[in-house]
Amino acid sequence: MNLQSPITKGGRSLSMYAYRLEKLEIFTFEDLLFHLPFRYEDYSIISKIGQLQTGETVTIQGKILEIKNQYLRGGRIKTIQKAVVVDDSGSVELVWFNQPFLIKSLIKDSLISASGTVEQSAKTKSIKSPVFETFFGNQKNPIHTGRLIPIYPKTKGITSKWLRRQIYNILDQHENELIEYLPNELIKRNNFMDFKKAIKEVHFPQNLQNAVDARERLGFDELLLIQLASNKRRSNWEKKQKAHQFKILEYKKDIDKLIASLPFSLTSSQTRAIDEILSDLESDKPMNRLLQGDVGSGKTIVGAIAMYIAHLNGFQSVFMAPTEILALQHFKTIKELLSPLGIKVKIVTGSRKLTEDFDIITGTHAILSEKIKINNLGLVIIDEQQRFGVEQRGIVREKGENPHLLTMTATPIPRTVALTMYGDLDLSYLSEMPKNRKTVKTWLVPPEKRDAAYQWIKKQIKETKSQAFIICPFIEQSESMLTVKAASQEYERLKTEVFKDLPSDKQSLKLGLLHGKIKSKEKEKILDKFKKAEYDILVATPVVEVGIDIPNATIIMIEASERFGLAQLHQLRGRVGRGDKQSYCLLFTDNQNAQSSKRLKGMETLYSGAALAELDLKLRGPGNMYGTNQHGVPTLKAASFSDTNLVQKAKYEAEKLFPELSKYPLLFQKIENITIQKVSPD
């Protein structure tokens, strides 16, 4: 048996919990050692019983002099267990409630160690509901008392006490397998704790400083491994055959002409991103760049210019989007821009087959279908890349020979996270918005103001001749029948009760309904009607989240907003504020818990996706940061992506270490084994 052995191979007391542990992603003994406490209880002061002070939290150790059960009548407390414990300095009473079985396990004359807060009642001192353990056999040290006690995250069916005991045993039996795998100089340079000591101290620290140092070491390792794995992906990518080297200088004039023909001037970050892309395209290594920019920052035009360059160099391009609606929108934008220059732009989706020759295809993952042959693929662009799985991103590249790859996302990944997660990609940021954009006024609406909000929406629509989205709750992750049903019901309710015609009110509001189960042709019709203002209000499931562009819509009302990640709310909010009228976002929630209000309050004051992502990261941690539908963000156990210092340190050390990785076989093995989902295509 070793640390890699599965839990099911452990003793009975361990293996019978295997199923419950699996839910925590704990499969092996080693996994259990990486299940870290989230705080410590300080029971390290061991006091003579005769010197106990009222109010102090201590551990006492002594002999059980007597123990008895008392029965009470009525009330919640049915029985009380009292034990008198003595040492050579005095006696104290330990008191438990409703635990009659203790009488059997705490036997007179056995030794006990108990921790808790001392109280004075009448003449005797007592400790109520103490944490305790008895000493028998050959256990030398207390586990649950008399030291800093690790407290583990609560989980159904698994107590902290149980975890503590198991982890203690594993550490005891497998200590020798905890072998240092980082280079000595690195450890010295950073003043890190040794690996074995770090694992031991993070669970059973000698003092709080050790706990902090241990966590720092383990957090560093975690970030370092992610970073090294991404360095490795990058080097694999670069080892691939040569890329198509595009000529740029020759076509500079054409690009400038296209840019000059736009109805707006580019922001300086758009110009910078384009320059970065052009210099990638010029090089003999295939481009692998992530373009990150907030909703509405103007990524599409950057992609379009890159495709234009590909065309000028005699290559075809693919522009893939996650939904049919979005693909159609891109198709229209790009066609309008590039077809006057003689470029053949086509669209491929589930319901639109490719029939003719093309220079650029826009479309959904239908592009990946085997039937679609691309002879001369030079550039692949993937919009909203976080929506695609790694495999899909890989397949599209395989349609050509080493095409350049540009991925785009509006998901505001904090820089610290991007540095670690996407270390193998080059990053371009669109850090500024086009000029003259108004911020969308955002309010968190309490339940009692719901009716007033409906009245306000009505008035607003009529007075400013604008339109509104009402987003129904997100019931399950995918667009399930349940979500659709809820949306249909809400649509009926809004239509027949809330926005119905009043006798004096001739001009009634027209409502449309959009959800994922509607056929795509029908969907387009509905959106088209909304665009032409034939509907005043579009009631929708969260399908509208990504991409669509209706400049006359100025209000978005979001139900059950606490169920969304901040990034998703920000995406939704990005559906309005696209024209020159003032826009509004109303967030409804019935859930008043402090944390979710804090998150939602953030929406009222923060308008940049990046700032919101940082907040989400702080409040919910990286696992939840983007809400659902996010691929490839691992949950960190010891480190935090918001710890910029440690992230930087890991990045620095990884760069240094990577070229000589083969010198450290244990470390090398760990990187091979790393199971984080790959986030970049290769």
Stretch that binds ligand ADP, among 114-122, 266-274, 516-524, 619-627 (CB under 6 A): 266-274
Three-state DSSP at 27 gives coil
Q: Which two tokens stand for residue 371?
A: 């039937």
264 contributes a contact to ligand ADP by CB under 6 A: yes
The DSSP 8-state label assigned to residue 592 in this structure reads -
Which of 129/271 has CB closer to ligand ADP? Answer: 271
Task: Tell me the DSSP string of 80-131.
Answer: EEEEEEEETTEEEEEEEES-TTHHHHS-TT-EEEEEEEEEEETTEEEEES-E
Sign of CA dihedral 514, 518, 523, 526: negative
| Chosen residue from 293, 403, 414, 622 binding ligand ADP by CB under 6 A | 293
Which of 267/385 has CB closer to ligand ADP? Answer: 267
Q: What are phi and psi of 351, to 5 degrees?
A: -105, 0
Closest CA to 127 of 108, 146, 142, 114: 114
Which of 94/556 has CB closer to ligand ADP? Answer: 556
Among positions 7-36, residues that touch ligand ADP (CB under 6 A) are none
Rounded Cα–Cα distance for residues 350 and 365 (Å): 8
Beta bridge partners of 64: 85
| Chosen residue from 145, 267, 428, 583 binding ligand ADP by CB under 6 A | 267
Angle between helices 268-282 and 299-312 (to 10 degrees): 30
Rounded Cα–Cα distance for residues 296 and 22 (Å): 42
Q: How far is the CB of 613 from ligand ADP (least distance, A)?
A: 15
What is the CB neighbour count within 10 angstroms for residue 528? 10
Q: How far is the CB of 315 from ligand ADP (least distance, A)?
A: 22
410 contributes a contact to ligand ADP by CB under 6 A: yes
Which of 147/330 has CB closer to ligand ADP? Answer: 330
Q: How far is the CB of 578 from ligand ADP (least distance, A)?
A: 7
Q: How far is the CB of 293 from ligand ADP (least distance, A)?
A: 5
Q: How far is the CB of 11 from ligand ADP (least distance, A)?
A: 56
575 contributes a contact to ligand ADP by CB under 6 A: no
Q: How far is the CB of 364 from ligand ADP (least distance, A)?
A: 16
Stretch that binds ligand ADP, among 152-160, 291-299, 367-375, 522-530 (CB under 6 A): 291-299
Stretch that binds ligand ADP, among 147-155, 236-244, 294-302, 397-405 (CB under 6 A): 294-302
| Chosen residue from 295, 382, 498, 566 binding ligand ADP by CB under 6 A | 295
| Chosen residue from 6, 90, 183, 434 binding ligand ADP by CB under 6 A | 434
What is the CB neighbour count within 10 angstroms for residue 647? 25
| Chosen residue from 266, 636, 674, 676 binding ligand ADP by CB under 6 A | 266
Q: What are phi and psi of 575, to 5 degrees?
A: -70, -25
Q: Which two tokens stand for residue 182?
A: 């980082």
Q: What are phi and psi of 594, to 5 degrees?
A: -60, -40
| Chosen residue from 125, 232, 299, 573 binding ligand ADP by CB under 6 A | 299
Dihedral over alpha carbons 214, 216, 217, 219 (to 10 degrees): 120
Which of 150/574 has CB closer to ligand ADP? Answer: 574
What is the CB neighbour count within 10 angstroms for residue 354? 18
Q: How far is the CB of 333 from ligand ADP (least distance, A)?
A: 7
Q: How far is the CB of 329 from ligand ADP (least distance, A)?
A: 8
Which conformational region is residue 125 in: left (phi greater than 0), alpha (psi within -120 to 50 degrees), or beta? beta
Stretch that binds ligand ADP, among 168-176, 288-296, 479-487, 507-515 (CB under 6 A): 288-296
Q: In one letter, which amino acid is 424?
A: D
Q: How far is the CB of 574 from ligand ADP (least distance, A)?
A: 7
Which residue is listed with tokens 């000591």? 197
Closest CA to 125 of 77, 70, 44, 58: 58
Rounded Cα–Cα distance for residues 610 and 588 (Å): 23
Q: 3-class secondary structure for 262-276? A: CCCCCCHHHHHHHHH
Which residues in 424-452 are b (16+ Cβ under 10 Å) and which e? Answer: bbebbbbbbbeeebeebebbbbeeeeeee
300 contributes a contact to ligand ADP by CB under 6 A: yes
Among positions 582-641, residues that touch ligand ADP (CB under 6 A) are none
Burial of 193 (0-12, 13-18, 19+ CB in 10 A): buried
User: How many secondary structure helices (H) and strands (E) does the chain include?
Assistant: 22, 21
Q: How far is the CB of 665 from ligand ADP (least distance, A)?
A: 45
| Chosen residue from 64, 301, 472, 612 binding ligand ADP by CB under 6 A | 301
| Chosen residue from 219, 298, 414, 565 binding ligand ADP by CB under 6 A | 298
297 contributes a contact to ligand ADP by CB under 6 A: yes
323 contributes a contact to ligand ADP by CB under 6 A: no
277 contributes a contact to ligand ADP by CB under 6 A: no
322 contributes a contact to ligand ADP by CB under 6 A: no
Which of 145/300 has CB closer to ligand ADP? Answer: 300
440 contributes a contact to ligand ADP by CB under 6 A: no
Which of 295/539 has CB closer to ligand ADP? Answer: 295
Q: How far is the CB of 631 from ligand ADP (least distance, A)?
A: 19
Which of 438/500 has CB closer to ligand ADP? Answer: 438
The DSSP 8-state label assigned to residue 639 in this structure reads -
Task: Please count the residues of this chain forming the interface with ligand ADP, following the rule CB under 6 A.
Answer: 14
Q: How far is the CB of 624 from ligand ADP (least distance, A)?
A: 23
| Chosen residue from 6, 100, 296, 621 binding ligand ADP by CB under 6 A | 296
Q: How far is the CB of 301 from ligand ADP (least distance, A)?
A: 5
Q: How many residues does the chain have?
A: 682
Which of 352/575 has CB closer to ligand ADP? Answer: 575
Antiparallel, parallel or unpaired: β 345-348 and 360-363: parallel
What is the CB neighbour count within 10 angstroms for residue 583? 22
Task: Confirm if 268 and 432 have CB atoms less than 8 A apart.
Answer: yes
Which of 147/573 has CB closer to ligand ADP? Answer: 573
Residue with the shortest CB distance to ligand ADP: 298
Q: How many CA atoms lie within 13 A of 658 on its CB side?
A: 21
Which residues of the chain form contacts with ligand ADP (CB under 6 A)? 264, 266-267, 270, 293, 295-301, 410, 434
